[in-house]
């Protein structure tokens, strides 16, 4: 295990500390919905329409969640991106 000094950086789930990434697969339930990753949840929160949120929530992995949310960016209010 690496010595921890200063800032802990993480992004890729395959890198050191990847378990802290918003892309890491740690499903959770919130408001009666099951979310595969926190990235799924983050992307879905850009929208109020339940159908858009559901499509993003049901993406197979966090990577498609981003393009799925981008499909609906024209519906996002100013300053929410």
Tell me, yes or no, whether 48 lies in a domain. Answer: yes
Establish if 10 belongs to a structural domain.
no
Number of domains in the chain: 1
Over range 22-38, report the average pLDDT: 93
Query: Does residue 22 sit within a domain?
Result: yes
What angle (nearest 5°) sits at the alpha carbon of residue 81, between those of residues 76 and 75?
10
Q: Is residue 50 part of a domain?
A: yes
Q: Report yes or no on 4 lying in a domain.
A: no
- Categorize the per-residue pLDDT at 73 as very low, low, confident or very high, splitting at 50, 70 and 90: low
Domain residues for the domain of 25 are: 18-75
d(CA 30, CA 36): 11
The mean of the pLDDT values for the chain is 81
How much of the chain, in percent, has pLDDT values that exceed 90? 25
Within a domain: 51: yes
Q: How much of the chain is in helix, strand and coil states, percent to nearest 5?
A: 35, 5, 55
């Amino acid at each position: 295990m690496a010595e921890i000094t200063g800032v802990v950086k993480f992004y890729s789930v395959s890198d050191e500390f990847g378990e802290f990434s918003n892309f890491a697969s740690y499903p959770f339930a919130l408001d009666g919905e099951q979310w595969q990753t926190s990235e799924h949840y983050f992307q879905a929160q850009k929208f109020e329409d339940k159908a858009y949120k559901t499509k993003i929530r049901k993406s197979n992995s966090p990577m498609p969640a981003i393009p799925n949310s981008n499909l609906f960016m024209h519906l996002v209010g100013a300053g929410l991106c």
